[in-house]
Amino acid sequence: MSGSIAAALKQLWHKLGSPRWFYHITQSWVRLFGVMALLLLVSGCIWGVAFAPADYQQGNSFRIMYVHVPAAMVSQSLYLGMGVAGFIGLVWRMKLADVAIAATLPLGITLTALALFSGSVWGRPTWGSWWEWDGRTVSTLVMLFLYLGIYALRGAIADADVRARAAALVSLVGTVNIPVIKYSVEWWNTLHQPASFSLTEKPTMPAEMWLPLLVMTLGLYCFAGHNVLSRMRLEILRREANTRWVSELYADPQAVPPKTNER
């Protein structure tokens, strides 16, 4: 039994190395993630903005949490995903690993920026300041610079192999920052409130407050799935443009095939 599972996993691993297989298998996933993201984000927003009760201390400004926490969580997960892809790319030289890193960067950068921005906007009414040099804020800023650094690095290196290896290495090394973000609220005595939400523990908030947060977080994960997979498929179409399977995807089926010299 375990042997057949191992064999199936091994087969999946080899298939994952094939851009063509990945392109076809993800077509339906992209659509599913897109629909789920739209439904969850729209309902989560309406729920969080208009129906959740106001916080007894922070009043209505706490509704920013429904944007801030999912953005922070997903941007960290995306970075972690890039680190894993970097590891796979360095160890097994899998082509798709660099595709994944390239496809994650734009969303990772913008979501980290959104986490910082929404945190700043939340900080003004609750902490009385737009910016605090707080442990979690600074480590998130470091993550933004890591994202931007990898983006710039990929833009600066012309050789595709060197570019892939450099981006994989920085992605992998930069993952040490993720636990720093996570434990920053415990290591340093700061203004930043501890995690309002965890996937493993029972929330301390009433359900009508954390349920919209759960919906928004799942919605943003679905959006990330949709966006990163779409960008990976685009990157595959670019890199594999000269292959037979891509040209067959876009060939007119009624076109006359070229005649050969065989008679």
Partner 1 sequence: MYFSSLSELIAMDGHGPFVWLAYGAALVVLLVNFVATRLAIRRQENALRWRAEAAAMHAQQSNRARERQGL
* Residues binding partner 1 (CB under 8 A): 41, 45, 49-54, 59-61, 63-64, 67-68, 71, 106-107, 110-111, 113-114, 117-118, 121-122, 124-125, 223, 227, 230-231, 233-234, 237-238, 241, 246-247, 249-252, 255-259, 261
Q: Which is nearer to partner 1, 170 or 209 (CB)?
A: 209
CA distance 70 to 223: 11
Q: Which is nearer to partner 1, 5 or 207 (CB)?
A: 207
As a residue count, the chain comes to 263
- Report how far apart, in Å, the C-alpha atoms of 36 and of each of 137, 173, 225 are: 30, 33, 10
Q: Which is nearer to partner 1, 67 or 167 (CB)?
A: 67
Q: Report H helices in the chain.
A: 2-16, 19-46, 65-92, 95-127, 135-156, 160-174, 177-187, 207-239, 244-250
Closest CA to 63 of 74, 50, 80: 50
The residue assigned the tokens 């009508």 is 208
* Least gap, CB of 137 to partner 1 (angstroms): 15
Q: Which is nearer to partner 1, 201 or 252 (CB)?
A: 252
Cβ 240 vs Cβ 19: under 8 Å? yes
* Least gap, CB of 89 to partner 1 (angstroms): 22
Sign of the dihedral defined by the CA atoms of residues 51, 57, 63, 66, in that order:
negative
CA distance 73 to 21: 30
Q: Which is nearer to partner 1, 181 or 224 (CB)?
A: 224
Phi-psi region of 132 (alpha: psi -120 to 50; beta: other; left: phi over 0): beta
* Least gap, CB of 128 to partner 1 (angstroms): 12
Q: Which is nearer to partner 1, 39 or 249 (CB)?
A: 249
* Least gap, CB of 100 to partner 1 (angstroms): 15
* Least gap, CB of 32 to partner 1 (angstroms): 16
* Least gap, CB of 92 to partner 1 (angstroms): 27
